[in-house]
Structure 1
Amino acid sequence: MFSEIYGILGESLNVLSDRQNVIASNVANANTPGYKAKELNFEQVMKSLVPSSDSMPMKATSQKDLGGVLASGSQTEGQSDYIKSFIHNQKDETVPPLDGNTVDLSKEMSDMTSNAIRFEAVAGLLSKKFATLNYAITNANP
């Protein structure tokens, strides 16, 4: 079961990294006429990678359990194509400028900050999981 958690945390880091690239692309194109800001919804991608608990034969031992494992085939070379299928134009709730560019720099910077915080949290959790595993291995009694 713990290996499934490592896979989920690893995929989370991959998706957050891809999301950061999408946000960075928006910022880089802030002055490009006609550019439509893109978005990658982290929650939507992760829901597609982690099946619902209904499809799992495992039983949750705690309410904190994730209740699933990565969907088969999610860690393939075509993953970038898979992720690309989740990248969409942002919903524009304002009237775009005359040049048609829909990038809102303040929103992008806010998204970039929250994404970085998520990335640090997941990386920290993964690091603690590895430290616990390392401790168990190095301090095991023969």
Structure 2
Amino acid sequence: MAAADIPIFSMLRDRMRWHQDRQKLLAENVANAETPGYRARDLRSPSFDELVQGNAGSGIGTLRTNERHITGSVQGGSRFQVRRDTGVVTTPDGNRVNLEDEMLKVAQNQMDYQAVTGLYQRSLGLIRTALGKR
């Protein structure tokens, strides 16, 4: 079994992809802070139910082992759901980007990404130790 097939690694990779995609959106928000009519966007964090049903990222899908079992439904669309109009205050030109809030989100996103990558590295280290490769 390859390390890529272990469920915890696929979930951590999906979470890292989510943080990368969120960072791109937050950077767009900061870059368009002076653009008239621009509305801030953010990614909605996948819920546990979506992960179990396989609707967020690769997720955890259901396996049908018997023809009498009920099949799970997986919805199509983008990998992660984008929330629009996250800004609360609107400037006279219609812009809804608050730089302070966006920078706080960027910092929090960076810390969360570092935590996920740390978990990924530690998990790989545990597997290497178990295999005697350390």
Same fold by TM-score greater than 0.5: yes
Alignment partner, residue 50 of structure 1: 51
Partners of 1:20 and 1:112 within 8 A in 2? yes
Aligned runs of 1:11-90 on 2, under 5 Å?
Answer: 11-42=14-45, 45-47=46-48, 49-51=50-52, 70-72=59-61, 81-83=78-80, 86-90=81-85
Q: Which runs of 5+ in 2 are unaligned?
A: 62-75
Return the TM-score normalized by structure 2: 0.73
Q: CA RMSD in A?
A: 2.7
Taking only the aligned residue pairs, the percentage that are identical comes to 27
Say which SS state the counterpart of residue 81 (structure 1) adopts.
coil
Whichever residue aligns with residue 23 of structure 2, its letter is Q
Q: Which runs of 5+ in 1 are unaligned?
A: 53-68, 73-78
Alignment partner, residue 123 of structure 2: 129
Higher helix proportion:
1
Count of residue correspondences: 113
1:39 Cα shift? 1.0
Alignment partner, residue 9 of structure 1: 12
Q: Does 1 or 2 have the higher relative contact order (CA < 8 Å, sep 6+)?
A: 1
Say which SS state the counterpart of residue 78 (structure 2) adopts.
helix
1:101 Cα shift? 0.6
1:46 Cα shift? 4.7
Whichever residue aligns with residue 70 of structure 1, its letter is G
**In the TM superposition, what whole-angstrom CA distance separates every residue of 1:16-42 from its partner, at most 9, and x where no partner exists?**
111111101100111111100001122
